[in-house]
Amino acid sequence: MFTQFGYSVRWKVVKLKDWGLAQDRKRLIMIAAAPGEILPIFPPSTHGPGLKHYNTIGEALSMVKQRDPLHNLTTVKWHHPPRRPFDADRLADTITTGGSASYHPSGQRNYTMREYACLQGFPNCHRFLGTKTQIIKQIGNAFAPNTVEVLYRHLMKSLLDSDGISDHAVHVEVVDLEPDVLIVDDDSFYRTTVDGSGNEYVDLEMQRGNQVAMIDLT
């Protein structure tokens, strides 16, 4: 359909573990470019042999904050007797919208909603709305955010390169001064600030300079 309108199209089945997901998950990804635009290639792998080691279940779960409302051990299913425990130093199976097929490496219980989200590449600050069933479905249906970031940063760089804009390096330093506050020192070409209410402010003039953003994660 895209080619009928003059678009160039590139597609690939990507193993998302190669872009940092702690999960054995594959997805079909398509990149299209309008007539006259350069069609970007796919990003190279960031994890794998000769690169960063694959992210593991244990590493993903280590990001969970114990006081997170979505990490409530009283709302998960506990197994009696426990299931067979397994090594957390490996990739998770593909997370689904049901979630019941996966369980915690201890074998004692299912994952909490926040643990599911971390295995799916969501940051701890991401907020979900809905019932437990609805949130699990949102997580299972999602295109893992940490892999989307790899793709989008690559595409942004390709587009800026094709426009002859070379000064677009992005440096973000995150300092966790308080449990619910992040200070972001952004000296990037494009500057966006997100405040605690979720409002977004974009510097349309794209003037370079340091900018500090406070993001309330409560």
* Per-residue confidence (pLDDT) for residue 98, from 0 to 100: 78
> Residue 173 falls within a domain, yes or no?
no
* Per-residue confidence (pLDDT) for residue 208, from 0 to 100: 31
Reported as a pLDDT band with limits 50, 70 and 90, residue 170 is: low
Instruction: Give the rounded percent of residues in the chain with a pLDDT score beyond 90.
Output: 66
> Residue 131 falls within a domain, yes or no?
no
pTM given for the model: 0.74
> Residue 153 falls within a domain, yes or no?
yes
> Residue 36 falls within a domain, yes or no?
yes
Total structural domains within the chain: 1
Whether 195 has a pLDDT exceeding 70, the answer reads: no
First vs last C-alpha separation in the chain? 44
**Model confidence over 58-67: pLDDT tens digits?**
999 999 999 9
Structural domain for 44, as ranges: 2-51+145-163
**Model confidence over 7-30: pLDDT tens digits?**
999 999 999 999 999 999 999 999
> Residue 156 falls within a domain, yes or no?
yes
7, 15 contact by CB (below 8 A)? no
> Residue 15 falls within a domain, yes or no?
yes
Reported as a pLDDT band with limits 50, 70 and 90, residue 134 is: very high
> Residue 12 falls within a domain, yes or no?
yes
**Integer-rounded Cα radius of gyration of the chain:** 20
**Model confidence over 88-98: pLDDT tens digits?**
999 999 988 87
> Residue 149 falls within a domain, yes or no?
yes
